Amino acid sequence: MAGPQFQPARDHLSLGEAFFDPVEAADFPQTRLRYADRDWAARIGLGGLSDERWLAHFGRFEPFEGSLPQPLALKYHGHQFQRYNPDLGDGRGFLFAQMREPGTGRLLDFGTKGSGQTPYSRFGDGRLTLKGGVREVLATTRLEALGVNTSKTFALIETGESLHRNDEPSPTRSSVMTRLSHGHVRIGSFQRPYFLQEPKHLRQLLRYACQTYAPAIYHLTYGAEDGQGDAAAAPLFLRWVSANCAETVADWFAAGFVHGVLNTDNINITGESFDYGPYRFLPRLDPNFTAAYFDQSGLYAFGRQPEAVFWNLQQLAGTLVELSEQSALIAALQDYSRVLAQAVEDRLFRRLGLRASGDRDADQRFLQAFLGALKTSGLSFDETLHRAFGARAWPQGDDWREVSAMAAGFAVDRPERLDHPYFRTDRPTSLVIGEIEALWEPIAEKDDWSAFEQKLADTWSMAEAYGFSPIVADGGQKALAAAEGQAEATGAATHAES
C-alpha cells in the first residue's frame, strides 16, 4: 500500500477531455518486475510497496486511491524533424497517476511507454521492446547521476509478448515502462489547440500551465487585482520555458549526451529531459555526432542541439501570438542564449570539479581552451573528464599544457570528493553504444541480468562521487526577475537616448 507520505493528485483532469482521452491498459500475458527505482519510491511515499503491488500498479495499472481513476492518453501535435504532424498524441503510453512530491509540493506524473494501443496509435501496436526499456533505464540512471534534469525510469516490467521490429532482431521480448516526471505538458500540447483554431482551449492550457508549474507567473498575471491575464502571462511563460530548456541543453552538453529526437512533442515545458529512443553518449567530442540512424542531415547532432531546441521554442512562441504582443514574445525568446551560455559554463566547471573564478573572460578562455584541446585530440570524452576532475591529471601535448597551466588558477570545488573510491580509478563508468549492446546480449541470450545490474551499481557509485543535484524548474520567479531586469534596462536606455 501507499504510505502516509504519498500525496495523490488529479490536477490534469481539470483540463477536460479536449486535452485527453480516457483509455484502458493492455492486458499483458505476464508481468515480471525487472527494475524498480526504490530510492524514488521512498521519496514519494511508495517505499513500502511489495513486488506484488508494483506489478499491480505498474503492470496492470490499478489506480492509486485519490489519483486518476483511469489512464489518460494525452492529446498533442508536433513538429517531427521540423515537419508538422497533426496525427500525434499518446500512441503507446498514457498518464497513469499524479502526485505531489513531499516537501516541495511539486506535481509529479507517472507516464507510461508500451502500455497498449490508444486512439493515437495509428498503425502501431502500442508496445515497447524489453531492449528499449533496458535502454531507458540505463539512460535515465546515467543522466541523473550526471546532474541532468531528467525523468526517472520508475518501473520496468517484462510482459511476455513477442514483438516484431525492423530495427532489431525479431521476434523480441516486450515490456512496459513507467516514468516519473515533472509533468507531461509539451510544446506540442500548445500546438494542437492553435492548429485546430481553438483559442479557448489555448488560453485554458496557458492558465493551467502557469497555475500548476509556474505559480509566481500565475499570481502576478491572473491572481493580482491589476493582473492582465493572457497578454501578460504569455511572454513570461515563454521566458520561463525558454530558460528551463536552456538549462537542460547545458546539462546535455556537459554530459556528452545526444537526445536524438528533439521534436516539439518531446520538449517538456518544465525543461525536464524525457523519452529516450535513439539516444547516444559521445565517445569523443564531435559536434557532428548524431544519435538516430535516420537523422541523415544531422539536424539533431550534438553540436546542433541548442539551435534545435531554440527552433522548437520559436514554434511555442508562434502559438502564443494570438494571446500577446509579438514584440513581447520576441523579447522573451532573447533570454535563451544568455541563460544557455551561462549554464554551459556552470555545468562544465561542475563536471571538471572546479570553481569559476568570477572573472568571466578568464573563465571563458579556460573553457574554450579545454574544449578545443578535447576536440582536437580526439580523446575519450568520459575518460578525459574523469581524469581531469579536480584538475588531477591532464593529457599530454602542447594544447593540454596550456590547459593545465590555466587550470592552476581555479580552486577545486569540494576537494573531499577526490577521496571517493570512484576517483581512484583511471577508467570511469561510461555508456557508449557498444556497451549498451554488450549489456543487452546476455539478457537476450541467457536472461542474465548481472552485467546490467553491475552497470547500474557503477553508475550509482559515480553519482555518489560527484554529488550533483539537477537544476530543476522554479515556480517562475527567475522569469519575473529577468523580465523586470530587461524592462529596467530598456527604460534606462530610452531615458539616455532622450
- Report residue 486's pLDDT band, with 50, 70 and 90 as the boundaries: confident
Say what the pLDDT of residue 200 is: 96
Say what the pLDDT of residue 426 is: 86
Say what the pLDDT of residue 223 is: 83
* Averaged pLDDT of the chain: 95
Mean per-residue pLDDT, 317-343? 96
DSSP strands (E only) in 369-493 = none
CA distance 490 to 480: 15
> What percent of the chain shows pLDDT beyond 70?
97
Say what the pLDDT of residue 487 is: 67
Q: Is the pLDDT of residue 496 over 70?
A: no
CA distance 174 to 142: 23
Cell numbers describing residue 465: 562521487
- Report residue 488's pLDDT band, with 50, 70 and 90 as the boundaries: low
> What percent of the chain shows pLDDT beyond 90?
92
CA distance 103 to 43: 10
Say what the pLDDT of residue 492 is: 54
Chain segment 221-276, per-residue pLDDT in tens: 998 766 689 999 999 999 999 999 999 999 999 999 999 999 999 999 999 999 99
Say what the pLDDT of residue 316 is: 98
Say what the pLDDT of residue 195 is: 98
Chain segment 397-406, per-residue pLDDT in tens: 988 999 999 9
Cell numbers describing residue 353: 570539479
Sign of the torsion angle spanned by Cα atoms 247, 271, 110, 10? positive
Q: CA angle, 414 as apex, 360 and 374 as ends, to 5°? A: 55
Mean per-residue pLDDT, 314-325? 96
User: What separation, in Å, do the N-terminal and C-terminal C-alpha atoms of the chain show?
Assistant: 68
Q: Is the pLDDT of residue 317 over 90?
A: yes
Chain segment 95-147, per-residue pLDDT in tens: 999 999 999 999 999 999 999 999 999 989 999 999 999 999 999 999 999 99
- Determine the residue type at 415: P
Point out the least confidently predicted range of 41-50, 159-168, 211-220, 279-288: 159-168
Say what the pLDDT of residue 258 is: 98
pTM over 0.85: yes
**Which residue's entry shows cell 525536464?**
272
Q: Considering only CA atoms, which of 489, 476, 486 is closest in space to residue 234?
A: 476
Query: With contact defined as beta carbons under 8 Å apart, do 461 and 429 qualify?
Result: yes
CA dihedral 110, 116, 122, 123 (to 10 degrees): 140
Mean per-residue pLDDT, 480-498? 67
Say what the pLDDT of residue 491 is: 59
- Report residue 485's pLDDT band, with 50, 70 and 90 as the boundaries: confident
Q: Is the pLDDT of residue 335 over 60?
A: yes
The DSSP symbol for 417 reads G
Chain segment 176-209, per-residue pLDDT in tens: 999 999 999 999 999 999 999 999 999 999 999 9
Mean per-residue pLDDT, 87-93? 96
| Residues in Cβ contact with 9 at an 8 Å cutoff, skipping those fewer than 6 apart | 66, 67, 98, 99, 100, 107
| Residues in Cβ contact with 489 at an 8 Å cutoff, skipping those fewer than 6 apart | none
Cell numbers describing residue 134: 533496458
Q: Give the active site residues.
A: 265
- Report residue 495's pLDDT band, with 50, 70 and 90 as the boundaries: low
